[in-house]
């Protein structure tokens, strides 16, 4: 196919491998190569995705139009900077960076060169979240729970960066009001990092959100509940259902009947949709749904949650 977008994936661990395989199936994309400091891993994923293997990301400069960066968060700025300075469009996994300062520099570099920068807040492309967003009107209280068992591959980061940041980003997008106060508690359980956490987010318009994240729970739960004047909505990420309760419109009745409905969501593969959207944004030169500023805002809230927990625990 002519005019294919030349793409590479930097970092092909667990998630990066899926990036590479998805790009390899897109007719409008030419997957130039994959990069990983582990040469054997790079070669193995390259063989699966039918592309070249590299151990040095900068070897791809001048050879690609866009990259997915799926490297550890601590090296995001180091890996991203050479590409962004040259205007290479970037899909950068969440969180945008390890610190607010590094996140701001990444956003500045993209803005300066005109590169499209999309941050990998995958749940924004969850069909249930998109269906929920269409039904939100003046929310007053939200409650998000994201809990499950421990996974060794994320033992080097805390549960805030690993899990809670997804719901922070979703809540920020749905509330539409700035945060005025954050209170948080949490503790390590299995690692030296925070493994379970709760945050209370208070917004300028008086709305409140409670967010719980745990990676030391027996039962897997992914749920967000929304309370608003027109009723109540609850999204179950796992079953992809939305339960709704609202008052039935009846004249002359002091207390109207509560109507309950369940909406079954047509499931989609969020990572496929996320990468397809990134490619579409690059080809159409349009801003992505989750751009650098959005990713930076979620990071800053996550960092404030972490700071609040450390203050409360004396850590």
How much of the chain is helix, strand and coil, in % rounded to 5?
40, 30, 35
Domain boundary among 96, 115, 134: 115
In whole angstroms, what is the distance from residue 15 CA to residue 19 CA? 7
Say what the pLDDT of residue 150 is.
87
Contact between 217 and 238 (Cβ < 8 Å): no
Residues 180, 257 share a domain: yes
Same domain, 142 and 263: yes
Tell me the mean pLDDT per 10 residues along the chain, length 315: 87 97 98 98 98 97 97 96 98 97 98 98 95 94 95 81 96 95 95 95 98 94 95 95 89 80 93 98 97 97 94 66
Reported as a single tens digit per residue, the pLDDT across 197-210 is 999 999 999 999 99
CB-count burial class (<10 Å; 0-12, 13-18, 19+) for 248: exposed
Give the end of a domain, one of 94, 115, 136. Answer: 115
Q: Is 115 exposed, middle or buried (0-12, 13-18, 19+ CB in 10 A)?
A: buried
**Residue 289 counted as domain residue:** no
Which residues does residue 291 pair with via DSSP β-bridges, in sequence order?
118
State both tokens at 1. 């196919």
Q: Is there a contact between 115 and 89 (Cβ–Cβ < 8 Å)?
A: yes
**pLDDT tens digit sequence for 98-107:** 999 999 999 9
CATH code for position 90? 3.40.50.720
Choose among 216, 233, 219, 230: nearest CA to 143.
233
Q: Are strands 196-203 and 231-236 parallel, antiparallel or unpaired?
A: unpaired
**Looking at residue 282, what is its pLDDT?**
98
Q: Is the dihedral of CA 112, 118, 121, 126 positive or negative?
A: positive
Neighbours of 140 (CB within 10 A): 15
Q: Give the residue numbers spanning the domain of 130.
A: 124-268+301-313
Residue 56 CB neighbours (<10 A) = 10
Q: Phi and psi of 102, rounded to 5°?
A: -65, -40
Question: Is 171 within a domain?
Answer: yes
The pLDDT of residue 313 is 66
């Amino acid at each position: 196919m002519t005019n294919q977008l030349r793409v590479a994936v930097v970092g092909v661990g667990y998630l990066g491998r899926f990036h590479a395989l998805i790009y390899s199936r897109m007719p409008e994309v030419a997957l130039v190569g994959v990069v990983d400091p582990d040469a054997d891993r790079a070669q193995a994923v390259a063989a699966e995705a039918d592309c070249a293997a590299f151990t040095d990301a900068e070897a791809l400069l001048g050879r690609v139009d866009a990259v997915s960066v799926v490297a550890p968060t601590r090296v995001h700025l180091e890996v991203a900077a050479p590409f962004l300075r040259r205007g290479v469009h970037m899909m950068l996994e969440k969180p945008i960076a390890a610190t607010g300062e590094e996140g701001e520099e990444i956003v500045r570099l993209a803005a300066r060169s005109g590169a499209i920068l999309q941050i990998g807040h995958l749940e924004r492309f969850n069909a249930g979240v998109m269906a929920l967003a269409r039904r939100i009107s003046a929310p007053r209280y939200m409650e998000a729970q994201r809990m499950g068992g421990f996974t060794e591959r994320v033992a080097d980061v805390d549960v805030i960066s690993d899990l809670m940041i997804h719901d922070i980003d979703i809540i920020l997008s749905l509330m539409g009001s700035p945060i005025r106060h954050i209170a948080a508690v949490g503790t390590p359980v299995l690692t030296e990092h925070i493994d379970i956490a709760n945050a209370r987010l208070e917004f300028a318009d008086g709305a409140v959100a409670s967010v719980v994240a745990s990676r030391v729970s027996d039962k897997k739960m992914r749920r967000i509940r929304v309370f608003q004047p027109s009723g109540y909505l609850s999204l179950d990420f796992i079953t992809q259902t939305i339960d709704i309760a609202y008052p039935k419109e009846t004249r002359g009745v002091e207390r109207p009947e509560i109507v309950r409905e369940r909406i079954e969501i047509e499931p989609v593969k969020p990572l496929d949709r996320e990468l397809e959207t990134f490619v579409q944004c690059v080809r159409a030169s349009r801003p992505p749904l989750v751009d650098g500023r959005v990713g930076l805002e979620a990071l800053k809230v996550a960092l404030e949650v972490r700071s609040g927990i450390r203050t409360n625990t004396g850590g």
